[in-house]
Amino acid sequence: QVQLVQSGAEVKKPGASVKVSCKASGDTFSSYVMYWVRQAPGQRLEWMGWINAGKGNTKYSQKFQGRVTITRDTSASTAYMELSSLTPEDTAVFYCAILRREAFDIWGQGTLVTVSS
Amino acid sequence: QSALTQPRSVSGSPGQSVTISCTGSSSDVGGYNFVSWYQQHPGKAPKLMIYGVTKRPSGVPDRFSGSKSGNTASLTISGLQAEDEADYYCCSYADTYTSWVFGGGTKLTVL
């Protein structure tokens, strides 16, 4: 069973960028569509974007378009999400998740990003 | 993009059944059989409980079941157990912006 392990918590100042990684176990990384999902305190889950790990193509939510960049390194079985121009409202837990069977089947453990001056 | 509407909270006693609703529109819940449900315990990642409206991943107890009628999907948990106390989120594919939308979450309390 594939597992996703994310990088650790981050504290950033307003205006900075953050890059979160998500490493997949197993040898089928290139077959995945990897999503990034944000969960702000007390808020609903919301998708930010996804990457086809094999082809490398991406799609971003209109809400985050222009601020988010999702990339992958197939040799490391790792996906990355970079969010720029951070504000305190970006304080949240960020999850990577694999879309399979038209559902978010496997989730990383989450990465807390705190934005504070 | 529009979000799905869930009750803020539901509760039930051990052994009872509870149903959580998730209301959307014809552009999401009503238009596609791509409704999923997630269980989230405090400080933990969401866990897939139901996909494709009614299907259970292996390892999910058959006490959890899903259904849909029109623009409303439902998650029913029968034989409530203490460990079922958690937040539950619904999710659906939405053809608006060809994306996924989530519900606001429902806190289940086992009395």
| Cβ–Cβ gap B102/A45 under 8 Å | yes
| Cβ–Cβ gap A107/B104 under 8 Å | no
Q: Are A81 and A36 in contact (CB under 8 A)?
A: yes
Smallest Cα–Cα separation from A90: which of A70, A117, A72, A51? A117
pLDDT confidence tier of residue B99, bands split at 50, 70 and 90: confident
- DSSP state at residue B51: B
Question: What pLDDT sits at residue A42?
Answer: 86
Question: What pLDDT sits at residue A1?
Answer: 81
Which one of A35, A101, A109 has the shortest CB-CB distance to B45?
A109
- Find where tokens 């990034």 sit: A36
- Chain B residues whose beta carbon lies within 8 Å of the beta carbon of residue A107: 45-48
- Chain A residues whose beta carbon lies within 8 Å of the beta carbon of residue B102: 44-47
Smallest Cα–Cα separation from A40: which of B101, B104, B84? B104
Interface residue B47 vs chain A (CB under 8 A): yes
| Cβ–Cβ gap B97/A103 under 8 Å | no
Question: What pLDDT sits at residue B2?
Answer: 60
Interface residue B102 vs chain A (CB under 8 A): yes
Nearest CA in chain B to A36: B100
Question: What pLDDT sits at residue B96?
Answer: 74
* pLDDT per residue as tens digits for the range B17-76: 999 999 999 999 999 999 999 999 999 999 999 999 999 999 999 999 999 999 999 999
Which one of A47, A95, A108 has the shortest CB-CB distance to B100?
A47
Cβ neighbours of A4 (radius 10 Å): 23
Question: What pLDDT sits at residue B97?
Answer: 65
Print pLDDT tens along chain A (117 aa): 899 999 999 999 999 999 999 999 977 899 999 999 999 998 889 999 999 999 999 999 999 999 999 999 999 999 999 999 999 999 999 999 999 999 999 999 999 999 999
Query: How far does A106 lie from chain B, in Å, by closest CA?
Result: 8
- Chain A residues whose beta carbon lies within 8 Å of the beta carbon of residue B100: 35, 47, 104
